[in-house]
Amino acid sequence: METKDVLLRLRTEKKMTQETQMLLGLFLGILVMIVLVLKTRTHTFIALLLAALITALVGRMSPADAITAIQDGFGNTLKSTGIIMLITGAGGALGNVVKVSGIGEVLGEMVVSWPIPAILIPVIIVALMRIALGSATVAITTAASLTAPLMSVLSISPLLMSLSCCVGAISFSYFNDSGFWVFNGMFGLTELKDQVRCKTAVSLIMSGVGVLELLIAQFFI
């Protein structure tokens, strides 16, 4: 009986030691990654690879198993996100063409000439840029540079201008938006009509509510 208790205690202690070593490996991996990125300015990709390798080796994985685990992680991730990366890259290419060619400036000048409330001008510019570029961040950045010089002409406060740009940025999420595919992938939406109804239509409704709020807020800000 005592022998069984001793063996059980030894197994428990060994298991705790292994678990502690695994946690230590994870901690060291994360620490090395942070130091490499922040202190030595190592590329994030290399830092993440080294962190994964350190975590595996310190966690008592064999070098062969560690490399296999990293390769499998790459394969599974790229298999699920590859299409998103391609679409994002294509959207970025289109966005750079719009920016470099001067189409964005022409678009902004065209919208400014329309007989609409001044508060809606940034909304429309950003929305059109969002449709063309796909990325809400790039659309806001590009449209902000176009609309910023118009604040004095349109007599809009910087706060309302910022809110207007944000409302335009959420206006139309569709195929060239990487977030569109991330959302549909997370919720398992494979049919086109379901994807448009659950993401694109909802983004339009959100933008419509935002426009109403802007029209009301302009009397108080």
Radius of gyration of the chain (CA): 26
Do 101 and 14 share a domain, yes or no?
Answer: no
Dist CA 47 CA 36 (whole Å): 6
Do 94 and 163 share a domain, yes or no?
Answer: yes
Confidence category of residue 191, pLDDT binned at 50, 70, 90? confident
Q: Which residues contact 136 (CB under 8 A, 6 or more apart)?
A: 130, 169, 170, 173, 177, 179
Do 88 and 175 share a domain, yes or no?
Answer: yes
Residue 155 forms part of a structural domain: yes
Looking at residue 1, what is its pLDDT? 47
Do 143 and 212 share a domain, yes or no?
Answer: yes
For 114, which DSSP code? Answer: S
Residue 70 forms part of a structural domain: no
**Span 95-141, pLDDT tens digits:** 566 566 666 566 666 766 778 887 888 888 888 878 777 777 777 77
Do 207 and 108 share a domain, yes or no?
Answer: yes
Q: What is the mean pLDDT of residues 70-94?
A: 64
Do 150 and 194 share a domain, yes or no?
Answer: yes
Residues 187-199 as b or e (16 or more Cβ within 10 Å = b): eebeeeeebbeeb
Confidence category of residue 209, pLDDT binned at 50, 70, 90? very high
Q: How many domains does the chain have?
A: 2
**Span 167-181, pLDDT tens digits:** 988 888 877 677 787
Q: What is the mean pLDDT of residues 36-63?
A: 80
Do 92 and 55 share a domain, yes or no?
Answer: no
Percent of the chain with pLDDT over 70: 68
Q: Report angle CA 8, 14, 20 to the nearest 5 degrees.
A: 135
Dist CA 112 CA 117 (whole Å): 10
Is pLDDT larger for residue 174 or for residue 5? 174
Do 40 and 146 share a domain, yes or no?
Answer: no
**What would the two tokens of residue 197 be?**
């109804």
Looking at residue 87, what is its pLDDT? 58
Residue 133 forms part of a structural domain: yes
Domain hosting residue 11, numbered range:
2-61
Residue 73 forms part of a structural domain: no
Residue 77 forms part of a structural domain: no
Q: What is the mean pLDDT of the chain?
A: 75
In the predicted structure, residue 212 carries a pLDDT above the cut 90? yes
